[in-house]
Amino acid sequence: MAKVRSHHVCSECGGTSPRWAGQCPHCSAWNTLQEAMIEAARAPVPGNRFAPLAASAGVQWLDTVVAAEVPRHPTGTDEFDRVLGGGLVPGSVVLIGGDPGIGKSTLLLQALAHLSQHLPVLYVSGEESAAQVALRARRLGLDGSRVPLLPEISLERIVAAIESSAPKVVVIDSIQTVCTDQLSSAPGSVAQVRDCAAQLTRLAKQSDTIIVMIGHVTKEGTLAGPRVLEHMVDTVLYFEGDTHSSFRLVRAFKNRFGAVNELGVFAMTDRGLRGVSNPSALFLSQHENQVAGSCVLATQEGSRPLLVEVQALVDTAHVPNPRRLSVGLEPARLAMLLAVLHRHAGIACFDQDVFVNAVGGVRIGEPAADLAVLFAIVSSLRNRPLPRGLAVFGEVGLAGEIRPSPRGQERLREAAKLGFSRVIAPKANAPKKAFEGLEVVAVERIDAALAAAWQG
C-alpha cells in the first residue's frame, strides 16, 4: 500500500507547501494553506500506457451495465420520505445540515428506531455520550428500541465497527467531530472534514451501506467545511425553522435519487418530530374578518402544492429613500415588481415604505409569487381587503404580462380542496375542465388582474 503523508494546498492558487505558513509562498495570499493528504506516486507500468486501464476490473461498457430499480427503505416518517424521494437508497450518502437544536439528531434517531425493526443499523455519536443519547431516546419514547450505539470520533475505529457489524444504515452525528489519525489538524478543520467524508463515501459505495451524516452550519446558514463536501454526497438536506417555534421545514437542495426543492413539514412535540399532513393550514392566518394587505398564494414546493399567505404593509416614507424589505420572498424582485406596477397599472409607491412577508417562516423562491405580492401591496396601499376565498398565482413580466406557472392544475386542485371559491391565474393555466365549486379567472395583463381582484 502506498505511504500516506500530508502537505498543505493553497485554496487560491493551488500551490503546495510541505508545511503550514500564514502566507502562501506562490501567490502571497494570507491564511489560504489547508492540510491535505497525498499518496506517494506509484511506479509506472512498463509497456502500453493504456494497459493499466484495460486490465482494470472496474472498467465496463456503458451499454452492458444493468441499471435496475433499487428498493428504497422507508424511514417511518412520510414527510422525511417525501424529501428523500421515497426513502433511503442502498449505498447512498445523505448530508443533513441545520442550526443547533433544530431537531436533526431527533429526526434521525426516530428514523433509526423504525429501521432497526427490520434492518441492522448503527448510530455513531461524536457529540454526545451514550447516556445522553439514551436520555433523549427515553424522552422520545424510543428507549425500547434496539439501536446499536457507538460513541466515537476516530474514523479508523468507526470504519472498523462498520466493517465488522455490517449495518445497512449508519448515522454519523456529526461529520465535524470525526477525525482521522492520518492528519494532524484538529477535528472540524477543512482537511479533516473533507478526507473523513471522502472515506465514508467510498465505504458506502463499496459496501452498499446507507450513511447519513449530520453537518454543522455557519452563521450564514450554509454547511460548515469545504464546498466539495456537498459535491461528494448524493443528497443534501437543510433543516429550517425558528427554534422558538414548534414547526420545522426540511428542504432538499440536492438529490441524485429524487426531486430537488422538495419540502417536508414537521411539528416538534414532546414525543419528537411529527409530520404535518396538511401544511397549508400552517401558512394561512386565521382572520375573523378580511384584512388589508393580505393575499393567499398558491405556490409549489417540489411536487407539493401549498397555499401560503403573503402579507404586505405600505406606509408613507419619512426618509428620503423609502425602504424595501422582503422576508421569505426574493428581495431583488420587489423593486422590479413595484416598477411594473407603476409603469403598467399606474399605481406609484415611490414615496412609500413597502414591507412584504410570507407567513409561517416559509421561503418562496419561485416567480409565481409575483402576482400575490402585487395584490397584497395594492390592497395595503388602498386599505382595501381582498375578497374572502380568493387565491392567486402567476409570474409578472416586465412588459406587464402574466406569464404561466408550472403545475397550474395542481395548484388549482389544492385551492379547491381547501375551500377557496375563486382563483386568479394566468390564461395559459386555465383548466380545460372546471373544478367543482371553484371559479378560475384567467388574466393576461397586470391591469386586468387588478381589475378582476375586487369583482365578484
pLDDT in tens, 156-198: 999 999 999 999 999 999 899 999 988 888 888 888 888 999 9
Reduced to 3 states, what is the DSSP secondary structure of residue 393? coil
Predicted confidence band of residue 80 (pLDDT cuts 50, 70, 90): very high
Question: How high does pLDDT run on average in the chain?
Answer: 86
Cα angle, residue 20 at apex, residues 15 and 22 outer, rounded to 5°: 90
* 101 found inside a domain: yes
Predicted local distance difference test score (pLDDT) of residue 52:
52
* 251 found inside a domain: yes
d(CA 345, CA 454): 15
pLDDT in tens, 419-449: 899 999 999 999 988 888 899 999 999 999 9
Predicted confidence band of residue 281 (pLDDT cuts 50, 70, 90): confident
* 437 found inside a domain: yes
Residue 403 has pLDDT above 90, yes or no: yes
Residues 144 and 271 in one domain: yes
Residues 237 and 321 in one domain: no
Predicted local distance difference test score (pLDDT) of residue 222:
76
Q: How many domains does the chain have?
A: 3
Residues 50 and 104 in one domain: no
Beta strands of 48-92 (E only): which ranges?
Answer: none
pLDDT in tens, 31-63: 888 777 665 545 554 555 444 544 455 788 888
Short-list 309, 314, 320, CA closest to 357: 309
Residues 244 and 353 in one domain: no
Residue 69 has pLDDT above 60, yes or no: yes
Q: Taking residues 362-374, what's their average pLDDT?
A: 91
d(CA 2, CA 11): 25
State yes or no: cis peptide before 174, omega within 30 of 0. Answer: yes
Q: Taking residues 111-135, what's their average pLDDT?
A: 93
d(CA 148, CA 158): 13
Residues 393 and 286 in one domain: yes
pLDDT in tens, 213-229: 999 887 777 777 777 88
